[in-house]
Amino acid sequence: NANKIIKDEL
Amino acid sequence: MNFFRLTADLMHLLSIFVLLLKIQKTRSCSGISFKTQLLYAVVFVTRYLDLLKWISLYNTLMKIFFIASSIYILYLMKIKFRATYDPSQDTFRIEFLLGACLLLALVFNYTFTFIEVLWTFSIYLEAVAILPQLFMLSRTGEAETITTHYLFALGAYRGLYLLNWIWRFYTEHHIDWIVWVAGAIQTALYSDFFYIYYKKVLHGQKFELP
């Protein structure tokens, strides 16, 4: 699920 | 966090310090594209709307640094060292980049929400934000060595992120198509520059286009 991509990168 | 990502982020930090050093030491922003710096400020502001969302101290501090330094660079170029900026060399039309990236972000995104579309927009815009700078370089045909170090660090940061994504795919099954495609394009834009940097600057010569 694309919504679950955690945006932890800068 | 892995080695590639940490090194990439440190290269990104380094690139900004090299740019600040270039401007402060030469007391001039000649050879630097204001338009590219403006696009980076837009990139950071639109991407880090989630600034208050806690991921880690590292994450938050870096975001603050990128937003603050990009705006500070705009101040240096537009106010403090304004006289050294030559707009006639900086003629790339960024309206097209902004429009195309916004359109792409509205069509190709993970979720159609305000925050998410702006995040996607920032990813697409970062991929092409260097174009005004590279265009300026190709127009003048040469660059100060310190400016080329800045560009090298910036390109290396992107290249290392590619390795980070490969690493994360195998170790965490991390998948992020939008970021991957944009990042691959962004890195590819540096390939000509890398080649000349390697052939000339690393061999002690001045950066000049063939």
Mean pLDDT for B120-134 is 98
Q: What is the pLDDT of residues B56-71, one digit of tens each?
A: 999 999 999 999 999 9
Query: Going by C-beta distance under 8 Å and a sequence separation of 6 or more, which residues neighbour residue B32?
Result: B19, B22, B23, B77, B85, B133, B147
Q: Which of B62, B119, B177 sits opposite A10 (nearest CB)?
A: B62
pLDDT > 90? residue A3: no
The pLDDT score that the predictor gives to residue B20 is 98
Contacts 24+ apart (CB under 8 A), B55-58: B55/A6, B55/A7, B55/A8, B56/A8, B58/B1
With beta carbons less than 8 A apart as the criterion, state whether B34 and B78 touch: yes
The answer, yes or no, to whether residue B73 has pLDDT greater than 70, is: yes
pLDDT tens-digit series, residues B189-204 = 999 999 999 999 999 9
| B210 — pLDDT class (breaks 50, 70, 90) | confident
Nearest to B9 among A5, A6, A10 (CB): A10
* Residues of chain B contacting residue A10, judged by C-beta atoms under 8 Å apart: 9, 12, 59, 62-63, 66
Rounded Cα distance between B120 and B137, Å, is: 28
pLDDT digits (tens, 9 = 90+) for B136-148: 999 999 999 999 9
CA distance B66 to B76: 15
Residues in B touching A9 (Cβ below 8 Å): 5, 161, 164, 179
d(CA B161, nearest CA chain A) in Å: 10
Give B168-184 pLDDT, tens digit per residue: 999 999 999 999 999 99
In this complex, the residue of B63, B111, B164 whose CB is nearest that of residue A3 is B111
pLDDT over 90 percentage in chain B: 99
What percent of chain B is modeled with pLDDT above 70?
100
The ipTM is: 0.84
Question: Is the Cβ pair B63, A10 closer than 8 Å?
Answer: yes
Average per-residue pLDDT in chain B? 96
Query: Residue A1: which pLDDT band, with cuts at 50, 70 and 90?
Result: very low
Q: Which of A2, A3, A8 sits opposite B55 (nearest CB)?
A: A8
Query: Taking CB atoms and an 8 Å cutoff, what residues of chain A touch B66?
Result: 10
pLDDT of residue B4: 98
Q: Do B63 and A9 touch (CB under 8 A)?
A: no
What does the block give as tokens for B59? 């994450």
Contact A7 B56 (CB under 8 A): no
Q: Which residues of A touch B111 (CB under 8 A)?
A: 2-3
- A8 to chain B: which residues are within 8 Å by CB? 55-56, 59
Average confidence (pLDDT) over B34-50? 97
Q: How many of the other CB atoms lie within 10 Å of CB of B4?
A: 18
Checking if the pLDDT of B94 tops 80, the result is yes
* pLDDT of res. B46: 98
